């Protein structure tokens, strides 16, 4: 009985060769191809670098501290808060920006405002730049043009996490007087023109 079970369990192995021959079966051919590409770049750029002459069309890397690539005009930089004509923050703590933020890096604590025209203002406004994914959704969601990302400054390296959390005073220091009209022009804006 055991001999019959052994006959049923025994299987045959069929060896199938990989297509492409030894070049596909060995990793050495792929490594050699990569080394040939690297060596070709070295030979093309080495005499120019040795003699101090570089053709910018051949080399795509930049010597960073000396050469800097210009930022595009719509580059998103660090956040900044805009000010009203009286110097106060434009933010009315409507909570649209923390709601729209996918990274949950904006935290706002509202308080009552002394100005009777404005209901609320932020007592605490913080942005954690290490959590920010620089998507710009907070800028799009803001109904009163209080937050912008057009400062042209990118986040600096920090040693402590607390140094990357920007508070209201620091955000206002980069802000300037906004020319946007608070609450728009009203429902009859077509008739005024």
CATH number at residue 101: 3.30.70.3270
User: Both 33 and 107 in a single domain?
Assistant: no
Q: Do both 168 and 84 map to the same domain?
A: yes
- Residue 4 inside a domain? The answer is no
Summarised one tens digit per residue, pLDDT across range 159-185 is 999 999 999 999 999 888 665 555 556
CA dihedral 132, 137, 139, 141 (to 10 degrees): -130
Q: Which has more confidence, 43 or 177?
A: 43
Distance CA 100, CA 137 (A): 6
Could you tell me the pLDDT band of residue 106, with boundaries at 50, 70 and 90? very high
* Structural domain harbouring 61: 16-69
Same domain membership, residue 168 and residue 97? yes
Alpha helices by DSSP H, listed for the chain, are 2-9, 22-25, 27-51, 96-100, 137-141, 168-174, 189-192
Average of per-residue pLDDT across 83-101: 91
Q: Has residue 49 got a pLDDT over 70? A: no
The predicted pLDDT at position 81 comes to: 94
Locate all alpha helices (DSSP H) within 101-183, ordered by sequence: 137-141, 168-174
- 93 and 59 within one domain: no
Residue 63: its H or E element: none
pLDDT per residue as tens digits for the range 114-131? 877 778 899 999 999 999
Based on the fold, state whether residues 60 and 41 are members of the same structural domain. yes
129 domain-assigned: yes
Query: Residue 7 has which token pair?
Result: 């006959």
CB-based burial label for 79 (10 Å; 0-12, 13-18, 19+): buried
Which residues face 111 on adjacent strands?
A: 121
Judge whether 179 lies within some domain. no
Sign of the torsion formed by the C-alpha atoms of 112, 135, 165 and 75: negative
**Mean pLDDT in the chain?**
81
> Does the model's pTM come out above 0.75?
no
Please check whether residues 143 and 62 belong to one and the same domain. no
Mean pLDDT of 140-149: 91
Q: How many domains does the chain have?
A: 2
> Are residue 91 and residue 118 in the same domain, yes or no?
yes
Pairing of strands 147-148, 165-166: unpaired
């Amino acid at each position: 009985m055991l001999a019959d079970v052994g006959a049923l369990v025994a299987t045959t192995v069929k060896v199938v060769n990989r297509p492409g021959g030894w070049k596909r079966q060995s990793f050495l051919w792929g490594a050699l191809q990569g080394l040939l590409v690297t060596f070709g770049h070295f030979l093309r750029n080495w005499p120019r670098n040795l003699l101090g002459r570089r053709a910018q069309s051949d080399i795509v890397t930049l010597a960073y501290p000396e050469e800097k690539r210009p930022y595009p005009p719509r580059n998103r930089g660090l956040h900044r808060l805009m000010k009203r004509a009286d110097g106060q923050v434009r933010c009315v703590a409507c909570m649209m920006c923390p709601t729209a933020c996918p990274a949950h890096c904006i935290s706002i604590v509202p308080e009552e405002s002394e100005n009777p025209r404005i209901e609320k203002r932020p007592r605490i406004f913080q942005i954690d730049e290490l959590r920010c994914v620089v998507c710009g959704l907070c800028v799009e969601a803001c109904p009163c043009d209080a937050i912008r990302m057009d400062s042209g400054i990118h986040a600096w390296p920090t040693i402590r996490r607390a140094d990357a959390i920007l508070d209201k005073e620091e955000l206002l220091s980069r802000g300037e007087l906004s020319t946007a009209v608070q609450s728009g022009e009203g429902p009859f804006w077509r008739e005024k023109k």
